Amino acid sequence: MLNRRLIRIRAMQALYAYKQAEGANFQLSLDLIADDFAPDLNSMEFQDREKLEGYKKLGQQLLQEAFSRQQEDDFSAPQEVKMSVEKAKDFFLLKNKKDIEHYAGRMILEAERVYDFYLQILLLFIELADRAGADERDTAQSKLSDNQIIKKLRQERLLETQAIRRNVNWSTEQVLIAKLYREVLRNNAHYIEYCAKRNHTLEEDFSFLKYLLKNVILKNELTWEYFEKQDLYWIDDIETLRAAITHTFQSFVEDNKFKIALLDEEWEERKDFLQTLYRKSIVEEKELEEILIPKLKNWEIERISETDQILLKMALVEMLNYPSIPIKVTINEVIEIAKDYSTPKSGQFVNGILDSLSKELKEAGKIRKSGRGMLDNK
């Protein structure tokens, strides 16, 4: 269920968060140099403010040149300035190293949280059915607790074991469950109509659960607020969750057996894909920019939006490291993500750069597709 589109989005989000942290770390490094040459207001000795200000500006300039794409000017600097710059460099690199690992770990947890939401929403159907079954004031012909799919889902051992393993449950949210049933489901016109009939076909039960998922669970303010508090990227995961849960219900309708999604070997492969996109986009940034910059023509890379820069580098990492993924698939996915997460013209811009680059890299033998990847390499 954690498809490659979701993986690419998670990698982009983690890279964007890291780049923001990197910028903050650099500013802190500049501040360290400023602190080194700030006048000591408590000292009885003479403070040469003009000299200190000059040292500060020189040190900050040297630090900026050290991490810029431009060649550093070859001139000597006072020893105290050099020492201050080296200290700031070490601080910057150490902070970045820690942040790379921090966002890498958070990225994996956030991706796996989508799976936890999948389990939790399945359990939510059971919780709501329990509330309906215990509602003595409800005198309708049937209730949600009579739904054939929910009845079988309640007995699904794999769902139970996965929920226990991932520590997913609603035990501390019974007030929310009660409110969702009482204020939302019980008064829902579609639910009232559904309950007015005593016996339902399996297709009718399935149809109602799809309605409940799409129009109540994934849209209602109560559940939206709950899930959004758990995950900053909740809005990005809704369609993935809707498709996965619908597929789980549909599997029972078709085969009388639930296909509960698992974090299995496929996820291990996707996790490797996620980590590769993230880490190589950072570690090989200079090499990637050397490939990109000649294609930017009148554009300086600094003028391109941060998101577009990230997506272009991610796409290059994918094309260069995953021969089984067709180039067109990589480009099309990145274009769609750019349209959703960047500027209105980003899709067209990214498409032009990547299309041209992919042709050059193939001609140079740097992209060699195999398996499915050869489908677009004719």
**Residues of 51-76 as b/e, b for ≥16 C-beta within 10 angstroms?**
ebeebbebbbbbbeeeeeeeeeeeee
**So what's the pLDDT on residue 377?**
43
Q: Is residue 150 located within the same domain as residue 250?
A: yes
Q: Is residue 9 located within the same domain as residue 75?
A: yes
**So what's the pLDDT on residue 303?**
76
Asked whether residue 108 is assigned to any structural domain, the reply reads: no
Asked whether residue 269 is assigned to any structural domain, the reply reads: no
Asked whether residue 271 is assigned to any structural domain, the reply reads: no
Q: Is residue 152 located within the same domain as residue 180?
A: yes
Domain boundary at 77, 103, 129, which?
103
Q: Give the CATH number, domain containing residue 298.
A: 1.10.940.10
C-alpha R_g of the chain: 28
Domain boundary at 236, 255, 274, which?
255
Q: Is residue 143 located within the same domain as residue 227?
A: yes
Query: pTM for this one?
Result: 0.88
Q: Is residue 125 located within the same domain as residue 251?
A: yes
Q: Total structural domains in the chain?
A: 3
Query: Domain range holding 83?
Result: 4-103
* Cα–Cα dist 276/86, whole Å: 30
Q: Is residue 126 located within the same domain as residue 225?
A: yes
User: CB-side exposure of 15: number of CA atoms within 13 Å?
Assistant: 26
Q: Is residue 177 located within the same domain as residue 151?
A: yes
Asked whether residue 261 is assigned to any structural domain, the reply reads: no
**So what's the pLDDT on residue 374?**
47
Q: Is residue 126 located within the same domain as residue 249?
A: yes
Asked whether residue 225 is assigned to any structural domain, the reply reads: yes
Asked whether residue 221 is assigned to any structural domain, the reply reads: yes
Q: Is residue 217 located within the same domain as residue 127?
A: yes
**So what's the pLDDT on residue 73?**
58
pLDDT in 10s for each residue of the chain, 378 residues: 788 999 999 999 999 999 999 999 999 999 999 999 998 877 777 778 899 999 999 999 999 999 986 655 556 889 999 999 999 999 999 999 999 999 999 999 999 999 999 999 999 999 999 999 999 887 789 999 999 999 999 999 999 999 999 999 999 999 999 999 999 999 999 999 999 999 999 999 999 999 999 999 999 999 999 999 998 889 989 999 999 999 999 999 999 999 999 998 889 999 999 999 999 999 999 999 999 988 887 666 777 899 999 999 999 999 999 989 999 999 999 999 999 999 888 999 999 999 999 999 998 888 876 665 545 544
Asked whether residue 270 is assigned to any structural domain, the reply reads: no
DSSP for 71-133, please give it.
PPP-----HHHHHHHHHHHHHHHHHHHHHHHHHHHHHHHHHHHHHHHHHHHHHHHHHHHHHHH
Q: Is residue 141 located within the same domain as residue 233?
A: yes
**So what's the pLDDT on residue 146?**
95
Q: Is residue 242 located within the same domain as residue 122?
A: yes
Q: Is residue 315 located within the same domain as residue 237?
A: no
